[in-house]
Each structure stands twice: as C-alpha cells, then as structure tokens.
Structure 1
C-alpha cells in the first residue's frame, strides 16, 4: 500500500472490500495508527443477534478502538441505506468533534456511494408507512401493490415490471409519503458527508483463490463459535423470510439444518458457496463503481 497521507491532511479513511478480505483488520490497524474510530458500512453487521454469522468485530477488537454502528439494529427493524446514512453522519460528526479520524469500513457499496454524495436525495419514509406497505406486500402480494403504484404514479407503474418487488415497494413508499413520484427525487445529488477528494480511499481486491480459502475456513469457524445459536435466536423472533436480516448468508442454510433437511456439512458447504458468490458480486461492483480515487490493494 502506498504511504497514507499525513493525518492532518485527510478528512477520513474509507475502506471497502468483499467479505473475508481482511478489511476489518486493516481498519482497526489504521484506527490505532492514526487516532481513529471505526464506523461500520456493512448492511448485515448492523443487526443484533447475528454476531458471529456476520463476522462482526469481537470483544478484543472492540477494545482496541471505538467502534460505531455494529449490532445496534434489532433484526425486526426494516433498515435502509437512508437510515444508515443518517446514523453514520451523526457518528462521523461526533468522531470529528472529539478530534479523531473517522475510519469507515464495510462491504456495502451503496453505503459508500451515499456517504460520498453519489445517491439521489430521497425523502425519509415514516416508519408507519414503511411498516404498513411491507405488511401489505406479504398479505396482498406484489401484483396488488403494483396496481396501486400504477394508479398513484402511472409513470413508475409503467416502468417497473410487476414482479419487481423491492423497486415497486420503494416507489410506492415515496409516493405514499410525499404525494410525489420517486422520479421527482431521482437525479438530485445527496449531501457529501465525506469528500473523496480529501479522504484516503482504499478498496481491497484480494486474490480470488486466497479469498475462497478464507471464506471456506471462516464459515466453519463461525459454526464452531456459535452461529447455530444465533440462527435459533433469530428464528424464534418469527421474522418474515423476506426481511433483510433473514437474508444474511448462512441463515437459510443453517435453518435448513436445524429443521433436519440438511446435514451440517451440507449446510456449511452451501453457505460457503453462497458467500463466495456474494464476494464475486461485491468485487465486480467495486471494480465498476469505484473510480481512480480509490487505491486498489491486495490483502
């Protein structure tokens, strides 16, 4: 890695990378070396209960430097990029007020895009609206919501495929909450919380064979360290399977094992395969979406 800019010359350190790439260890190292505090930018590590299964920093790492936005969201909560950005903005402001350096690390590309002003400035959706529409999606089906969207926002209704669950839901949330089409907000740049011109931006691009080996070994270790108990606790909450927390890699596979439909070896292999596929998608996104301001490093 090239020499980092002088501490006084940078506004933040941003570290992106695929799962199991070593980015959390790098973030902790940089936080210790440069008087930093770590801010999570991973959409699954925000959830409580899923400690080992999402590879959150352990107690030892948490003791080495302050960490923010890890495990603070109940799994029943419908979390979003907008909510993360609001909370990250507050966390970063607090870090800077203490004279420390924000070190933002994670594998969720949209979080980094939002942080650097690259997402549309979408309105906040009141939680009652969000909760009601998600419940209706489950009880009435996507076709009914698409029909309502076509009535309230004909342009988006015509643009979206009737089976496009998430985009239909998002467009309907916006028009219900604001009375305006989501198109009225698209194209408006969001606020820049971290200017990439003044930040030290790093994206980890590991050797694929090395990464695959890490993934395979890591998931087996997760099981040894209590991932099954975490899945049991999550299932006990009776959360709908479409909920984001339920889509954490390993949840469905270990749930199938607990139900007696798979052996533990089969569940581990399926979860490891899904993790490798996810890492590939992450690497493709980072390669295509993060520009030359991001320093590429191997781990």
Structure 2
C-alpha cells in the first residue's frame, strides 16, 4: 500500500487535536505535532498543549521536546519530522500530523524554499534593533526592501520579519525572490484535511479558550516566564500581553482582551494561509468523524 501522511490543519481552537486523536485511534497510528508553539517544555497552558489524558491516548511527537532557550528552526523540524514519519511508516501505512503553524506544515508536506547563506551578525544586529527600537521599525524596513514579502508574511511575528530582512540585507535581493514554490518529492502521499467554521463561531471558541486558559493558570505560567521575555519563543500571543500587565503598562482585563483580539487575528491569518492551498479538503468542525474517515480511506 501507499504510505500516507494525513495532515490536519485549520485555525486555532477549532478542534484539530481532538480530531487527530480520534483518527490516530482509528488507524492505530501516531501523531506528529506541527504546532511550533507547543514545542517548548516551559509553555503549557498558553499554547494549549494536549492534556495528559489526551497525550496518553496515543503516541505524540514534537510536544514540549525542546526548551525556549534552544535554537530550533523550521528547517530542523522539517528534517526531524520527515525522519519520524519514515520511522512510523515502517510499522504503519498511515501517520498523522496536526497543527496550525502553516510554515511548519509546508516544510513537511512540500519542503522549504532555498535561501542563500547570510552573515550571522546580521541577525544579531536585527535582534538588537528589535529590543531597542521595537518591531515597527523592522516592519517599515521590510516594507521598503521587499513590499511583496511585507504583504505575505506574518508581519507581527518578529522571527518572520527578521528572517526576511536578513535575507534581503545579506543577499542584496528581495526575500520574496527566493520563493520558488518548487515542491520536494516525499516518500509518502500527503492527504490534507482542514477544519473550519463560520468566523463568528471561530471567534467565540477562541474567546472561550482564552477564558479557560486564564482559569487553568495562564497568568501564573506567564509570570514564571517573565525573566525570559526577551527570548523569541515568548514573543507570542498569550504571553507578551501578560508581560505588559506584569510591568504595569496594562490592566489585567485589558491584557486578557488583547490576548483574545490577537488570537482572533492569528486565526484569520491561519485561514488566509491555508485557503491558498487548493489541495486541502475542508470539513465543518461539527462533521461526523465517520464521514471524515470515509473520505480518508478513499484516498489510500
């Protein structure tokens, strides 16, 4: 039989984890996480890491496997995930990958574009500027150097901006000029399914999830991580807003409202990214699991 990777995508809080576990149990296989925020062992509540009960139902990979202090790139994940998928395929024709980090999903399913090597000092200087001048200055520079990249990448993500800028500066060419869209050949067939809902439902689910996170200890978790706020891993929704609260810049209520707002914006960007992929088969989040299984079994 053909070896298959089932990739489950969609906006945050839509139910991807629950679906992946049901499918893994049905196909008796293992799950690879492509949610880059869930890689870090110090971040649990704010990244919606699967519960201990969920993790015990089936074997998961790339959940809290590194530290916020580790350097771990999307290229590292591509290499490690492909190796793990091939290992799973030795005993099972099907592996499952789940996550809403579009670039990490693409790295595994289609491969990354090739970028030139650039002087590492450029990134060091850009990180210093991020701390000293703020993200807006870097956003303006990217807009000037590569308007196409400025329009297409997540411009509120400092790692994405710095990556694009270092290529622009180091190569003297636009970052976007290296986006060849050439897909790599994989030793397995990729079947991608997406979960979605009308926007009002997605936003309601996000707001409810944030409230649950707060009740489950998000504020306490963020407070413990405050000394590490300078790390890229923590410049992310759910933590950076609370850091502003701890430092007296915002009230707690306002910080929580900003978490909800920024998470909703993140979900909108996720949908924009995934909707560009015409190979994705979309299902409403309420779809009966048997209908999804029937679709998947016809793809083998």
2:4 is paired with a residue whose SS is coil
**Which residue of 217, 221, 230 maps to 1:226?**
217
* Greater Cα offset, 34-43 or 112-121: 112-121
Alignment of 1:63-212 (within 5 A): 63-99=56-92, 101-122=94-115, 130=120, 132-139=121-128, 160=146, 165-171=162-168, 187=180, 189=182, 191-193=184-186, 195=188, 198-212=189-203
Report if aligned partners of 1:121, 1:189 keep a CA contact under 8 Å in 2: no
CA distance in 2, matches of 1:224, 1:141: 32
CA distance in 2, matches of 1:274, 1:290: 24
Q: 1:296 matched to which residue of 2? A: 282
> What is the deviation of 1:296?
0.6
1:12 is paired with a residue whose SS is strand
> What is the deviation of 1:159?
5.4
In the superposition, relative to structure 1, how do residues 59 and 252 fare at CA in structure 2: closer, same or farther (>3 Å)?
same
Matched, 1:284 2:263: no
Aligned length: 262
**Given the two structures, how large is their TM-score scaled by the length of structure 2?**
0.76
Matched, 1:272 2:260: yes
In the superposition, relative to structure 1, how do residues 122 and 93 fare at CA in structure 2: closer, same or farther (>3 Å)?
farther
Matched, 1:251 2:244: no
Report if aligned partners of 2:146, 2:174 keep a CA contact under 8 Å in 1: no
CA distance in 2, matches of 1:188, 1:212: 31
Report if aligned partners of 1:116, 1:194 keep a CA contact under 8 Å in 2: no
Report if aligned partners of 2:167, 2:174 keep a CA contact under 8 Å in 1: no
Report if aligned partners of 1:249, 1:271 keep a CA contact under 8 Å in 2: yes
CA distance in 2, matches of 1:183, 1:227: 37
> What is the deviation of 1:10?
5.2
**Given the two structures, how large is their TM-score scaled by the length of structure 1?**
0.76
Note the residue ranges of structure 1 that are not aligned, 5 or more in a row.
1-7, 143-157
1:54 is paired with a residue whose SS is coil
1:138 is paired with a residue whose SS is helix
Report if aligned partners of 1:76, 1:239 keep a CA contact under 8 Å in 2: no
CA distance in 2, matches of 1:208, 1:141: 33
